[in-house]
Amino acid sequence: MALPAPDSCYASNGPCGYSTRRAGPGQRRCVISTQQEAPRFGANYTPSEHWWHTWLDFDTDSIRRDFAGLAELGLDHVRVFCVWPVFQPNRGTIRPRAIAQLVEMVHIARECGLDISVDALQGHLSSFDFYPSWTQTWHQANIFTDPDVIHAQAVLLTNLAETLRDEPNFLGITLGNEPNNLVPHNPCGPSEVDAWLDRLLRACQETDPAHPHCHSAYDAVWYVDGHPFTPRASATKGAMTVVHPWVFTNNCARRYGPLSVEATHLAEYAVELSKAYADDANRMVWVQEVGAPDGHIPVYDAPEFAVHTLSNVVDARNVWGVTWWCSHDVSRRFLDYPELEYGLGLLRSDRSRKPLAKAFAETISHLRAIPPRPEPRKVALVLEGGRGPSGPGGAFFEAWMRLTAAGARPAVVLGERTNDAEHLANRGITELLRPHETL
């Protein structure tokens, strides 16, 4: 497959998959639109040779080969990760060389016809946590509440946004990868998390209003009562709602089966669950991480799992895109990862394709050729009793899946919104069901 010319992938929807208009010389302004022809399809980039230690051994030829292989699969974007202590090794220092390498990576992606989303504060990656030393040891500080740390984070985000905002294939910033994984070592409450999110998202938005900036969280945000990252924060703060529907959460795939309704509709369910907490009925949702971890999805089932997951999730309205975790397997020369982390790639660490990659490529090609046109979901299941029932194994989760298995396309409505006629009308909901009514 010939690679597209550097600008060809921006001809219709623009670099963000939104409508595009010129905002000034050399700059595009991305405007969130609900009129996409089709969702975006990409991968979370895990460099094949150096993983994210690549910032220490930056190899442009290796990165170029990685990106070319992803473009050949038909992917249109990648999500990349700035390892925080590498980019900001001291509270008063941002490394120019790290910023220059990131820009070079953005340019290589453009050469290959790929757009690029940047995660800033890592933070947490593949079971490892990365903190700058100035937040640890003698300088122990809470990354969500310490004013000096928050100021430094905002400075880094501002620097990244200012550096990248004029790059034509830049998609925007996500604050960091699942920062709520860091809560156990950085105790905080919902109001403190909200203040942290507001401050850092504002830093991105004020510096670069032309692109959509987001934040992410792992599934505890939706399923765990009392977790300080709240569903409402995910569904209202930032330009889009971001979901990470992993089938190992609450042992979903093991509990129900790797090709079960519950496993293959989990991403679709996460999208619909997130909409229950949103104020804007047309808010876009980005399925930023979804994958087929071996031990939960056997390797031989992974292609079929991907086909069903992708086909089901695009039946939800306002899905901005799906970004598969991940691009390449983690090389076995790197030690101490959980076993499932090694084999999550579409491609192996030698860049060869897996059957999963073939299934993924064929499915997204079909979905682009015949773009989904999902209709509003008229029947909604009412969620009451907090977050706990909505996780795999919970009564609400299983009721939603029963409706889905029966051929329904259920939405989700919070109990406190069942009498909000405007909210229901904006979402096209005409019938409400309680979980016990699905038995």
Q: Look at residue 329 and tell me if it is in a domain.
A: yes
Q: Are residues 418 and 370 in the same domain?
A: no
Where is the domain boundary, 358, 374, 390? Answer: 374
Q: Are residues 226 and 85 in the same domain?
A: yes
Tell me the mean pLDDT per 10 residues along the chain, length 439: 30 35 37 64 97 96 98 98 98 98 98 98 94 95 98 98 98 98 97 98 98 98 98 98 97 98 98 98 98 97 98 97 98 94 97 98 96 95 97 98 97 97 97 95
pTM of the prediction? 0.92
Instruction: Find residue 347's DSSP bridge partners.
Output: 328, 353
Q: Are residues 247 and 331 in the same domain?
A: yes
Q: Are residues 254 and 301 in the same domain?
A: yes
Number of domains in the chain: 2
What CATH code is carried by the domain that includes residue 197?
3.20.20.80
Q: Are residues 174 and 103 in the same domain?
A: yes
Q: Look at residue 3 and tell me if it is in a domain.
A: no
Q: Are residues 189 and 246 in the same domain?
A: yes
pLDDT at 439: 85
Q: Are residues 238 and 367 in the same domain?
A: yes
User: H or E element: which one contains 116?
Assistant: strand 115-122
Q: Look at residue 58 and tell me if it is in a domain.
A: yes
Q: Are residues 17 and 68 in the same domain?
A: yes
Q: Are residues 214 and 248 in the same domain?
A: yes
Q: How far is CA 62 from CA 3, 49, 53, 66, in A?
A: 17, 7, 13, 6
Q: Look at residue 76 and tell me if it is in a domain.
A: yes
Q: Are residues 354 and 432 in the same domain?
A: no
Domain extent for 212:
8-374
Q: Are residues 117 and 50 in the same domain?
A: yes
pLDDT at 2: 31
Helix (H, G, I), strand (E, B) or coil at 299: helix
pLDDT at 33: 53
Q: Look at residue 1 and tell me if it is in a domain.
A: no
CA angle 269, 220, 339 (to 5 degrees): 90
pLDDT at 258: 98
Handedness of CA 265, 268, 274, 275 (dihedral sign): negative
Q: Are residues 388 and 353 in the same domain?
A: no
Pair of tokens at residue 288 = 């930023």
pLDDT at 38: 83
Calpha distance 318→365 (Å, rounded) = 19
Q: At what angle do helices 355-369 and 302-313 cross, to 10 degrees?
A: 20
DSSP string, 210-269: TS--B----THHHH-TT-SS-HHHHHHSSSSEEE---TTGGGHHHHH-TTSHHHHTHHHH
**Length in residues, the chain:** 439
